[in-house]
């Protein structure tokens, strides 16, 4: 048994230490990848709204219906009509108390690379044309 220990200790131990450290690092990276928290659907929707707000172009549209958690609207771009619904469940504070008063004309922001991807309201912007949203004196 002593010969075995002497044989191991007699070799370059730093190679074993480096290999062990590499194995621990690899295990940590793999664990991080598998345990990384995926964004929730609400977070993904917030990111989508923010991206459209940052790069979007504007068009005129019409609010067709207002539900408890959705706004349905339509708009035309280059002769193509779009009709869609936006989830507003996380944006309740951006709506007026009488939510049905926003029916009618609306400003729409859309992704110029994908015009079907659009919003009428987000955390930093609102295209809703309601008296509460119009600056005084306008």
Is 122 part of a structural domain of the chain? yes
State how far the Cα of 115 lies from the Cα of 74, in Å rounded to an integer: 12
Q: Using pLDDT thresholds of 50, 70 and 90, give the confidence band for residue 113.
A: very high
User: Rounded to an integer, what distance in angstroms lies between the CA atom of residue 69 and that of residue 93?
Assistant: 12
Query: Which domain does 62 fall in, by range?
Result: 41-133
Q: Answer whether residue 79 is part of any domain.
A: yes
- Considering the domain architecture, whether residues 17 and 48 belong to the same structural domain is answered as no
Asked if the model's pLDDT at residue 46 lies above 90, the reply is yes
Question: Taking 50 as the threshold, does the pLDDT of residue 137 lie above it?
Answer: no
Is a pLDDT exceeding 70 seen at residue 2?
no
Q: Are residues 24 and 63 in the same domain?
A: no
Tell me the C-alpha distance between 23 and 115, whole Å: 48
Structural domain includes residue 121: yes
């Amino acid at each position: 048994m002593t010969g075995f220990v002497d044989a191991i200790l007699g070799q370059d131990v730093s190679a074993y230490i480096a290999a062990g450290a590499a194995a621990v690092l690899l295990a940590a990276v793999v664990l991080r990848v598998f345990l990384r928290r995926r964004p929730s659907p609400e977070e993904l929707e917030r990111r989508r709204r923010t991206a459209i707000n940052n790069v979007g172009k504007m068009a005129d549209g019409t609010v067709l219906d207002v539900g408890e958690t959705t706004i349905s609207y339509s708009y035309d771009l280059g002769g193509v009509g779009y009709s869609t619904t936006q989830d507003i469940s996380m944006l309740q504070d951006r709506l007026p108390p009488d939510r049905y008063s926003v029916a009618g004309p609306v400003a729409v922001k859309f992704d110029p690379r994908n015009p079907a991807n659009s919003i009428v309201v987000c955390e930093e912007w609102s295209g809703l044309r309601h008296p509460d949203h119009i600056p005084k004196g306008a």
